[in-house]
Structure 1
Amino acid sequence: MPDEEKLDPSPMIDLVSPEEQPFSRRLYRQLSEEVDTNIGSLPLIACCFATGLTDGTLYNAYGTFVSMQTGNTVFVALGASGQNNRPFGWARSLCSIGCFTIGCLVFSRLHKLIGGGRLRRTVFFSFLLQTVFVVVAATIIQTGIVDGRYPSRRDPNVMDFLELAPVALLSFQAAGQITNSRGLGLSEVPTVVITTLLCDLISDERILDPLTQNVKRNRRAVAFLLTLLGAICGGWISKATGAVQPSLWFVAAIKATITIFWLCVRRAK
């Protein structure tokens, strides 16, 4: 008599009700789902506040941005012509541009490797990585490795190259936000580019439509206002606490909340 065929148990698992499947199998299924982009736009809009908060704080402390690379490009150009008011200020801006560019490359390749920008696992791991980078940057300043006092008591004529560490980390993670917005198909909320956002908002032929009839316009308007509010809050928090790191811990909390949110948001229909 021929040997009995061995049955592959994996197809049989699919026949079992979701509640009876192993946790690892249920988690894998959940992470493999595509997220609902309508609700998924909310975390990206929250990232606009985080962008304003980070840039408003870092510019006050170190004279550079971590998200808005247009300003950094101008700072590098001014440094090249000998008109930068901060010693080696161009180096901070150049570091930010370089790390942001590398971040775009890494996050885009990561999305492709994981399986696509709309998958739950893609956005989850992307924001988890962003959270880790913000936490590390905040820790570097919190522990005193880099002076985070505001206003700074450093000699304005002396450049502390250790300041490039938090700038590099924060610029790298900022690239993850705009990569996520592209991957989710929500380019109207780039999270880091205000100029393009304002242009698209004002040039929208349906800008005066009722709220329920122009969702993209609504997202752009709220994104702009939250970026502005975040920058204002960054200045207020730095002035009230006399330090840079409280704003960064706030950003880390926002990113961590968004990371957990991706596990709970409903899947695409």
Structure 2
Amino acid sequence: MQESPVSSTPGDSTVEKLESQPTPASEQSNIPNARERLSKHFSTKVETSAGYIPLLVCCFATGVTDGTVYNAYGTFVSMQTGNTIFVALGTSGQNNRPYGWARSLCSIGCFAIGCITFARLHNLIGGPRLRRTVLFSFALQTICVVIAAAIVQSGILDGQYPSMRDPDDVNFTELAAVALLSFQAAGQIVNSRGLGVGEVPTVVITSLVCDLVSDELLFAAWNKNGKRNRRFVGFVLTLLGGIAGGWISKSTGQVGPCLWFLAAIKACITLYWLGLVPLQRLMRKGA
């Protein structure tokens, strides 16, 4: 005996269509929440072109720093070639300042420690090109500068420019500011290498000028040689930064204002890497 086929009513097909359609709850589950959007935003890779402007600004920051700290404490904190010569002169007993070689040696050592630290941290965070890596790097640099500026501003270190104390009066507390500023300066060159902007090392002028003037396309049109343009701008900004640092220190008679100015520069670069505009767009899409 054959079974009679089950008859379908018009209402059955309507129910099946309704069941196949996604519910509003399931649609909402497919929309990434704010935490996922933030994670995606900070996990994106930064393009090399995005690093040109902030690293060129770092050249200006280097000029401001060394133009101020050298006259105040007798050492560089970014450009370590001069410090190496100072250490050599101190070893041969020809240093102009008592224990000036110690300041330079401290700067070299802290710069080297900074290079190691920033490079290792970049790898631990996920790689030098991730947005969160560069953001963390410049945030750490900003914190170091703020601490150094606060130490000088508080009077723990002699912040007068030029210093009024006896040249033979050695104050080793100056090494605190030298150490912090040298450590953070290392982050700049590590970032330039990680982002693939090696033509702008930010803390080295010798190799920058060599690469600039030896470029076979030195006199090419402006839009034909981007690396040459960035090297030239980096050199000019470093020079202008040194002038600005010396002028601010001389006009204020203090080291602190230059350090706070440097902290503001680093903070602005950090906000640049935060990517506020793209982030706001992501938040609006999910709202």
Correspondence for 2:30 among 16, 25, 29: 16
Where structure 2 has 5 or more consecutive residues not aligned to the other structure, the ranges are 1-25, 280-287
**CA-CA distance at 1:266 after TM superposition:** 6.8
| Counterpart for residue 270 of structure 2 | 259
| Counterpart for residue 160 of structure 1 | 171
* Off by >3 Å, runs of 4+ in structure 1: 12-15
- Please tell me the residue identity of whatever aligns with 1:181: S
Please give the alpha-carbon distance, in whole angstroms, between the structure 2 residues aligned to 1:205 and 1:101: 33
Instruction: Name the % identity.
Output: 67
| Counterpart for residue 9 of structure 1 | none
- Please tell me the residue identity of whatever aligns with 1:41: Y
1:213 aligns with 2:224: yes
Please give the alpha-carbon distance, in whole angstroms, between the structure 2 residues aligned to 1:37 and 1:43: 11
Q: How does 1:78-227 map to 2 (within 5 A)?
A: 78-227=89-238
Give me the CA root mean square deviation: 1.6
**CA-CA distance at 1:36 after TM superposition:** 2.3
| Counterpart for residue 233 of structure 1 | 244
- 8 Å contact kept, 2:86–2:95: yes
SS at match of 1:246: helix
Superposed CA deviations along residues 93-143 of structure 1, whole A, max 9, x for unmatched, are: 000000000000000001111111111011000000000000000000000
Superposed CA deviations along residues 6-58 of structure 1, whole A, max 9, x for unmatched, are: xxxxxx999834xxx32221111101001122132100000000000000000
Please give the alpha-carbon distance, in whole angstroms, between the structure 2 residues aligned to 1:23 and 1:83: 61
- 8 Å contact kept, 1:36–1:266: no
**CA-CA distance at 1:78 after TM superposition:** 0.5
Say which is worse superposed, 50-59 or 204-213, in terms of deviation: 204-213
- TM-score when scaled to structure 1? 0.91
| Counterpart for residue 3 of structure 1 | none
Please give the alpha-carbon distance, in whole angstroms, between the structure 1 residues aligned to 2:251 and 2:168: 26
Please give the alpha-carbon distance, in whole angstroms, between the structure 2 residues aligned to 1:211 and 1:15: 51
- 8 Å contact kept, 1:35–1:266: no
Please give the alpha-carbon distance, in whole angstroms, between the structure 2 residues aligned to 1:223 and 1:14: 49
| Counterpart for residue 62 of structure 1 | 73
CA gap 1:50/1:131 in 2 versus in 1, 3 angstroms: same
| Counterpart for residue 8 of structure 1 | none
CA gap 1:204/1:246 in 2 versus in 1, 3 angstroms: same
1:29 aligns with 2:40: yes
SS at match of 1:161: coil
Structure having the higher Rg: 2
- 8 Å contact kept, 1:45–1:223: yes
1:77 aligns with 2:85: no
Superposed CA deviations along residues 211-244 of structure 1, whole A, max 9, x for unmatched, are: 1111111100000000000001111000000000
Aligned residues: 253
- TM-score when scaled to structure 2? 0.86
Please give the alpha-carbon distance, in whole angstroms, between the structure 1 residues aligned to 2:48 and 2:274: 14
CA gap 1:13/1:151 in 2 versus in 1, 3 angstroms: farther
Please give the alpha-carbon distance, in whole angstroms, between the structure 2 residues aligned to 1:247 and 1:51: 11
CA gap 1:209/1:167 in 2 versus in 1, 3 angstroms: same
- Please tell me the residue identity of whatever aligns with 1:249: W
